């Protein structure tokens, strides 16, 4: 069961192809991190999913329905937090939450109380006078309290200090820890925070999806390989096999590369390829995987499973 | 429903102070109007009231823009787009917020003001609702422009742009001619530009036009807003707005709906081309003035075959004046009719039981190119062309004894005699003694009871004589929107020779005895369908062109 399914989703702005024939599934109940460099198309993709933009072609399905047909009632189940959203921020916190409370049938006053205690926001002043972090907390608070089935977060951590990031992450985890299933899609540059939070990862480049899979599988599949032995440089296949990226022979006795298709047979295959060599494999962080995929050739062959 | 109430509460909560300020300004304006009505000796401070009215208009526009732009339609960053708030709900809540915050207080205050003026509740409610409808129509337009923009600055810029476009369009289609512009010639008859033919009258009662226009504009605003909110697409919204407002502005011109009680009481047969005959009075043209390259000359028409209570005004004319040396001047004229004598005629019929005239002379101002006129000065010329005339029906509204403080009311309008006093005229202030009468008129905005024009005459019934206004000494009008207080001071002279070929009236002194038996007659006038008649070749007149 997928919370979101995109099929050939495309959006052009004039000559700019912001999202190009994108196909993606976000499993229900997952915390799906959407990574990509600036201009990769993350925000456009999220706006297409939420029917804030109309696709040039293709379609997306959200919680089982066509995203182009999302209506007001669907947003009883969908929450969206983004920095550039224009909120009624002249209100103070109580009015702000009171306004949103009256919009949602499923508003959880107990959760509101818990999160208000956790976030420790000032009550009497207008939200527009809040600091950036406090403002994000208030907006997240107004979104978490109706317990959305799908929570979409666009760059929620950018420019926030570590303490605020921790508070926000705790708030999100509070929601996902509940009995009712909640899918979280989060786009961010803050890969370290994402790694703590996400269990699925999608990487976007030039409007196309480069990879999308469970974080554990991804971290198993992507391995840094070091081959050490006499004359290994001469044994290095040319061209490099599919699935090897950033392969280089640093010295005649050392080859380093990232294997993107690592599995239980990979080490045995490498030993047969490099006779008398020592093979060392190590797990990559999500940051390294992201950088490896971003800096690899524009071709995405071999990255997708 | 809960989201509707939530948005409504939010908008009212944010703007209640501005809405209250708007209401308070209106309270002050109405209080001023009521004060002047209660104290006729006080001079009207129109400038102060104007400032109040302008301040209110500005505040109303600002509130409307803020209410609408709080939740932007043309912006995918607007928070409501990802909250459970439907587009229809949002639109409804905005319209209700504007109605509750701006229109309802206005109707309430207007009704209260009229009740304080002793108007009946029904009259007061109808008049105030009519004003409220006009305010709502204006607000819907402001809301539409606000929905198409993202800020007050953008709103102002777009409004200015629309204003410029409309002004240019109006000028380019209005047929306004400079004196040197040549009119079209088609054979002998010279067709008028930009006027409808006689089978399609373009003049209907202002009441009719007002009501139908306002309803059409309300519908156009509503439809455009619905399209704007439901589609959220700027191009579609612009197209819908342009098309619907164009239809709304044009539609009433093709709609004759008789709603005015004044018009309904009019004789069923209004003057028409078949029943009336318009000819030149055949008098010498006299030069009135010369403005830049044009000369304004006086030209008089004679209209025969009028029915009771009806007279004619000029609407416009295109003429060709051919001198004896075959030189031709093309001229044009626009309305400058005078309803005074028709008013007298109507009063004479009602009060003095006199026969109605079936003919009337209507003087007009004809604009001729000065350079062409020079060569024809002093000679005799034949005049032919097309003339558009506008019938006008007069009837007696009130008869008031000339005692200060006397007042009469009808259909939400009220007249009161304020003062009557001698008014010396002439170099020595003793040459002639006229009598001046000052009248306060409270004229409501109820479109069903607001004729286009009022006239006053004095009648001495025992003597079977009549006095017409000779001098309009002072006329001040103070209009708050809900009502107009018009203070008019007119000097009367006796004129018992109300003959068809007399214009202006001969002045005769009014003595105190005459005034003791005098009654003030208030007459209203309403226009009938205009029509065009040619001055045919066989009816062409010869007139002496003005000499130096």
Confidence of residue B513 (pLDDT cuts 50, 70, 90): confident
Q: Would an 8 Å CB–CB cutoff place A63 in contact with chain B?
A: no
Q: Name A200's bridge partners.
A: A32, A214
3-state SS class at B260:
coil
Top-confidence residue, B205 or A54: A54
Q: What is the mean pLDDT of chain A?
A: 87
The highest-confidence range among A49-58, A166-175, B407-416, B423-432, by mean pLDDT, is A49-58
CB-based burial label for B49 (10 Å; 0-12, 13-18, 19+): buried
Q: Would an 8 Å CB–CB cutoff place A107 in contact with chain B?
A: no
pLDDT in tens, B160-191: 999 999 888 777 665 444 443 344 333 333 44
Distance between B231 CA and the closest CA of chain A, angstroms:
12
- pLDDT at residue B262, rounded to an integer: 39
Judged by CB atoms closer than 8 Å, whether chains meet at A86 and B3 is answered as: no
Task: Using the predicted structure, report yes or no on whether residue A247 has a pLDDT greater than 50.
Answer: yes
* Chain B CA closest to residue A50: B82
Judged by CB atoms closer than 8 Å, whether chains meet at B84 and A73 is answered as: yes
- pLDDT at residue B524, rounded to an integer: 78
Q: Is the pTM of the predicted complex or chain greater than 0.90?
A: no
Judged by CB atoms closer than 8 Å, whether chains meet at B79 and A75 is answered as: no
- Cα gap B400→B431, rounded to integer Å: 29
Phi, psi of B194, deg, nearest 5 = 60, 30
pLDDT in tens, B519-534: 888 887 777 777 777 7
- pLDDT at residue B414, rounded to an integer: 79
- pLDDT at residue B356, rounded to an integer: 60
Mean pLDDT along residues B4-27: 95
Q: Would an 8 Å CB–CB cutoff place B274 in contact with chain A?
A: no
- pLDDT at residue B241, rounded to an integer: 93
Calculate what percentage of chain B has a pLDDT beyond 70: 68
Confidence of residue A298 (pLDDT cuts 50, 70, 90): very low
Mean pLDDT along residues B418-446: 72
Residues of chain A positioned with their CB less than 8 A from the CB of B10: 88, 91, 99
Kind and range of the H or E element at B346? helix B340-351
Kind and range of the H or E element at B60? helix B46-69
Q: Would an 8 Å CB–CB cutoff place B513 in contact with chain A?
A: no
Q: Would an 8 Å CB–CB cutoff place B1 in contact with chain A?
A: no
pLDDT in tens, A132-143: 889 999 999 999
Q: Which of B305, B390, B364 is nearest to B543 (CA)?
A: B364
Mean pLDDT along residues A198-213: 90
Task: Using the predicted structure, report yes or no on whether residue B538 has a pLDDT greater than 60.
Answer: no
Judged by CB atoms closer than 8 Å, whether chains meet at A102 and B2 is answered as: yes
Judged by CB atoms closer than 8 Å, whether chains meet at B86 and A72 is answered as: yes
Mean pLDDT along residues B318-345: 65
Tokens representing residue B105 in the block = 């207080």
CB nearest B78 (choices: A50, A76, A86): A86
Judged by CB atoms closer than 8 Å, whether chains meet at A47 and B76 is answered as: yes
Task: Using the predicted structure, report yes or no on whether residue B506 has a pLDDT greater than 50.
Answer: no
Task: Using the predicted structure, report yes or no on whether residue A305 has a pLDDT greater than 50.
Answer: no
Task: Using the predicted structure, report yes or no on whether residue A100 has a pLDDT greater than 90.
Answer: yes
Judged by CB atoms closer than 8 Å, whether chains meet at B79 and A73 is answered as: no
* Separation in Å, CA A93 to CA A122, A164, B14: 7, 17, 15
Chain B interface, best mutation among A53, A63, A75, by max B CB count within 10 A: A75
Top-confidence residue, B408 or B432: B408
- pLDDT at residue A87, rounded to an integer: 93
Residues of chain A positioned with their CB less than 8 A from the CB of B66: none
Q: Name B61's bridge partners.
A: none
Q: Name B164's bridge partners.
A: none
Task: Using the predicted structure, report yes or no on whether residue B272 has a pLDDT greater than 50.
Answer: yes
Distance between A76 CA and the closest CA of chain B, angstroms:
6
Supply the ipTM of this predicted assembly: 0.87
- pLDDT at residue B484, rounded to an integer: 72
pLDDT in tens, B217-269: 899 999 999 999 999 899 999 999 999 998 888 776 555 443 333 334 444 46
Task: Using the predicted structure, report yes or no on whether residue A276 has a pLDDT greater than 70.
Answer: yes
Confidence of residue B71 (pLDDT cuts 50, 70, 90): very high
Residues of chain B positioned with their CB less than 8 A from the CB of A90: 14
Q: What is the mean pLDDT of chain B?
A: 75
Q: Which of A122, A185, A79, A45 is nearest to B79 (CA)?
A: A79
- pLDDT at residue A34, rounded to an integer: 93
Q: Would an 8 Å CB–CB cutoff place A151 in contact with chain B?
A: no
- Cα gap A156→A172, rounded to integer Å: 11
CB nearest A104 (choices: B14, B84, B86): B84
CB-based burial label for B250 (10 Å; 0-12, 13-18, 19+): exposed
Judged by CB atoms closer than 8 Å, whether chains meet at B9 and A50 is answered as: no
- pLDDT at residue B490, rounded to an integer: 82
Q: Any idea which of A231-245, A249-263, B217-231 has the lowest mean pLDDT?
A: A231-245
Could you please report the per-residue DSSP string of B128-180? Answer: HHHHHHHHHHHHHHHHHHHHH-SSHHHHHHHHHHHHHHHHHHHHHHS----TT
Q: Which of B352, B359, B340 is nearest to B271 (CA)?
A: B359
Cβ-based neighbours of B172, under 8 Å, separated by 6 or more: none
Cβ-based neighbours of B74, under 8 Å, separated by 6 or more: B147, B148, B149, B150, B232, B234
pLDDT in tens, B75-92: 999 999 999 999 999 999
Tokens representing residue B397 in the block = 């509204």
Task: Using the predicted structure, report yes or no on whether residue B62 has a pLDDT greater than 90.
Answer: yes
Whether residue B279 contacts residue B286, with contact meaning beta carbons closer than 8 Å, is answered with: no
Task: Using the predicted structure, report yes or no on whether residue B464 has a pLDDT greater than 90.
Answer: no
- pLDDT at residue A268, rounded to an integer: 86
- pLDDT at residue B311, rounded to an integer: 75
Cβ-based neighbours of B9, under 8 Å, separated by 6 or more: A99, A102
Q: Would an 8 Å CB–CB cutoff place B76 in contact with chain A?
A: yes
- pLDDT at residue B287, rounded to an integer: 63
Judged by CB atoms closer than 8 Å, whether chains meet at A84 and B75 is answered as: no
Distance between A71 CA and the closest CA of chain B, angstroms:
7
Cβ-based neighbours of B259, under 8 Å, separated by 6 or more: B205, B207, B208, B211, B447, B448
Mean pLDDT along residues B450-478: 75
Residues of chain B positioned with their CB less than 8 A from the CB of A72: 3, 83-87, 89
Mean pLDDT along residues A20-31: 92
Residues of chain B positioned with their CB less than 8 A from the CB of A78: 82
Strands B518-527, A244-251: pairing is unpaired
Q: What share of chain B is helix, strand, coil (3-state, %, to 5)?
A: 40, 30, 30
Distance between A293 CA and the closest CA of chain B, angstroms:
31
Q: Would an 8 Å CB–CB cutoff place B82 in contact with chain A?
A: yes
pLDDT in tens, B275-320: 888 777 665 566 656 666 677 777 777 788 877 777 777 777 777 7
């Amino acid at each position: 069961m997928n919370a979101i399914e995109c099929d050939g989703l495309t959006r052009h702005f004039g000559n700019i192809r912001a999202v190009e024939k994108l196909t993606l599934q976000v499993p229900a109940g997952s915390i799906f991190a959407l990574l990509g460099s600036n201009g990769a198309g993350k925000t456009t993709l999220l706006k297409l999913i939420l029917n804030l933009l109309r696709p040039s072609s293709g379609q997306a399905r959200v919680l089982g329905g066509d995203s182009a047909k999302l209506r007001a009632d669907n947003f009883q189940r969908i929450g969206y937090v983004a920095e550039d959203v224009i909120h009624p921020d002249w209100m103070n916190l109580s009015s702000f939450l009171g306004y949103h409370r009256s919009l949602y049938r499923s508003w959880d006053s107990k959760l509101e109380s818990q999160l208000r205690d956790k976030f420790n926001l000032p009550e009497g002043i207008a939200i527009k006078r809040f600091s950036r972090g406090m403002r994000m907390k208030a907006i997240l608070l107004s979104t978490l309290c109706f317990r959305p089935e799908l929570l979409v977060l666009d760059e929620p951590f950018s420019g926030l200090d570590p303490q605020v990031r921790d508070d926000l992450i705790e708030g999100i985890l509070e929601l996902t820890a509940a009995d009712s299933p909640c899918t979280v899609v989060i786009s961010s540059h803050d890969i370290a925070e994402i790694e703590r939070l996400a269990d699925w990862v999608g990487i976007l480049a030039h409007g196309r999806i480069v990879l999308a899979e469970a974080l554990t599988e991804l971290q198993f599949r992507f391995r840094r390989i070091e081959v050490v032995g006499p004359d290994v440089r001469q044994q290095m296949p040319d061209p490099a096999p599919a699935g090897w990226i950033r392969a280089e022979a640093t010295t005649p006795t050392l080859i380093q590369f990232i294997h993107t298709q690592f599995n239980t047979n990979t080490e045995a295959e490498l030993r047969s390829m490099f006779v008398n060599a020592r093979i060392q494999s190590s797990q990559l962080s999500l940051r390294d995987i992201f950088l490896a995929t971003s800096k690899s050739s524009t071709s995405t062959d071999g990255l997708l499973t | 429903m809960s989201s509707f109430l939530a948005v409504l509460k939010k908008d009212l909560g944010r703007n209640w102070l501005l809405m209250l300020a708007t209401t308070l300004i209106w309270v002050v304006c109405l209080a001023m109007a009521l004060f002047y009505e209660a104290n006729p000796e006080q001079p009207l401070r129109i400038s102060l009231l104007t400032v109040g009215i302008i301040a209110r208009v500005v505040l109303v526009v600002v509130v409307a823009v803020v209410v609408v732009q709080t939740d932007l339609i043309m912006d995918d960053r607007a928070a409501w787009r990802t909250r459970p708030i439907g587009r229809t709900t949002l639109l409804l809540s905005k319209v209700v917020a504007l109605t509750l915050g701006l229109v309802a207080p206005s109707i309430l205050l207007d009704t209260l003001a009229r009740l304080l003026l002793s108007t009946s509740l029904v009259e007061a409610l109808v008049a105030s609702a009519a004003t409220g409808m006009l305010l709502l129509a204006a607000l819907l337009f402001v809301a539409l422009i606000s929905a198409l923009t993202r800020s007050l600055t953008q709103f102002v810029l777009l409004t200015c742009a629309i204003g410029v476009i409309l002004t240019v369009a109006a000028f380019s289609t209005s047929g306004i001619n400079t004196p040197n512009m040549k009119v079209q010639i088609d054979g002998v008859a010279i067709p008028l530009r930009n006027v409808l033919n006689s089978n399609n009258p373009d003049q209907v009662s202002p009441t009719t036009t007002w009501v139908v226009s306002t309803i059409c504009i309300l519908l156009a605003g509503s439809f455009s807003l619905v399209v704007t909110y439901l589609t959220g697409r700027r191009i579609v919204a612009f197209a819908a707005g342009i098309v619907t407002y164009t239809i709304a502005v044009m539609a009433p011109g093709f709609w004759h709906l008789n709603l005015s009680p004044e018009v309904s009481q009019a004789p069923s047969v209004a003057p028409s081309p078949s029943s009336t005959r318009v000819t030149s009075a055949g008098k010498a043209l006299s030069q009135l003035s010369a403005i830049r390259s044009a000369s304004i000359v006086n030209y008089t028409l004679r209209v025969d075959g009028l029915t009771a209570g009806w007279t004619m005004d000029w609407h416009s004319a295109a003429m060709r004046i051919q001198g004896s040396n075959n030189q031709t001047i093309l001229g044009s004229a626009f309305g400058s009719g005078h309803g005074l004598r028709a008013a007298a005629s109507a009063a004479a019929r009602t009060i003095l039981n006199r026969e109605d005239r079936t003919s009337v002379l209507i003087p007009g101002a004809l604009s001729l190119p000065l350079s062409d006129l020079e060569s024809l000065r002093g000679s005799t010329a034949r005049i032919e062309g097309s003339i558009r005339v506008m019938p006008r029906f007069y009837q007696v509204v009130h008869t008031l004894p000339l005692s200060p403080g006397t007042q009469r009311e009808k259909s939400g309008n009220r007249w009161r005699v304020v003062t009557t006093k001698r008014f010396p005229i002439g170099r020595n202030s003793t040459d002639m003694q006229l009598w001046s009468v000052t009248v306060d008129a409270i004229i409501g905005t109820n479109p069903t009871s607001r004729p286009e024009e009022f006239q006053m005459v004095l009648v001495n019934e025992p003597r079977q004589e009549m006095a017409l206004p000779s001098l309009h000494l002072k006329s001040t009008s103070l209009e708050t929107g809900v009502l107009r207080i018009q203070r008019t001071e007119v000097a009367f002279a006796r004129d018992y020779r109300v003959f068809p070929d007399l214009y202006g009236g001969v002045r005769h002194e009014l003595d105190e005895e005459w005034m003791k038996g005098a009654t003030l007659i208030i007459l209203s006038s309403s226009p009938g369908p205009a029509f065009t008649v040619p001055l045919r070749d066989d009816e062409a007149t010869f007139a002496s062109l003005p000499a130096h």
